[in-house]
Structure 1
Amino acid sequence: MIQFLYQYVNKGSLRTLSFILAIVLTLAFLFNFNLFSTQLRTVNPFLILFILWGVVCAWIHGIGFKINRTFWQVIFFPYFGYLGFLVAIVVHYS
């Protein structure tokens, strides 16, 4: 099942989009580190983990790492990472 879903994600344009998104999100963390650290200090730690997990999924997918094990493909599936990242951002800022 996950192999079937990975065929839809393994497109060059989606990898480029993931790579650009990973660069933008990483730069947002690096350049606004004080702002992020003060705002995220009081937040639920699981939200921070979801944000970081989404960024890591974007980097893994954007760079083009080929994951062989099904377990790790599920953990780092790009759409799950993006969904977790977006949910964490929406919950934090709403």
Structure 2
Amino acid sequence: MIDSLYNLTRKGWLKALSFIISTSMFILIWVFSSSFALHFGGHIPYFALFVFYGMVILWIHGIGFEIKSSLFRIIFLPFLGYIIVLPSFLYFIFSLLG
């Protein structure tokens, strides 16, 4: 089950998208670090750690590491990274614009 779900994301364009999204989020965090700390840190800093976890997932996927263990495939599932990072990325962009 997990192997078939993981194999859905083995496409080249999805790996490139993962790398672009995670690198873009890293650049935004690096350039606007005080804004990131204000919006994602706040009183509960776990959301910032959650965003970093999603970025790590997408970097691992985007660079092209092949994970063999089923347990680590569950932990670093690219769909999970997309679910975490894409809304965070959009929220961060719209909070900077408005």
Using the size of structure 2 for normalisation, the TM-score is 0.80
The one-character-per-residue Cα deviations of 1:58-92 (angstroms, maximum 9, x if unpaired) are 10100001111111110110111221335667899
The one-character-per-residue Cα deviations of 1:26-69 (angstroms, maximum 9, x if unpaired) are 10111111221233342423312221111111101000011111
Aligned pair count reads 93
In the TM superposition, what are the counterparts of 1:1-94 in structure 2 within 5 Å?
1-86=1-86
Using the size of structure 1 for normalisation, the TM-score is 0.83
Distance 1:25 1:89, change over 3 A: closer
- Point out 4+ residue stretches in structure 1 off by more than 6 angstroms: 89-93
Q: RMSD between aligned alpha carbons?
A: 2.3
Question: Percentage identity across aligned positions?
Answer: 33
Name structure 1 gaps, 5 residues minimum. none
Matched AA of 1:79: F
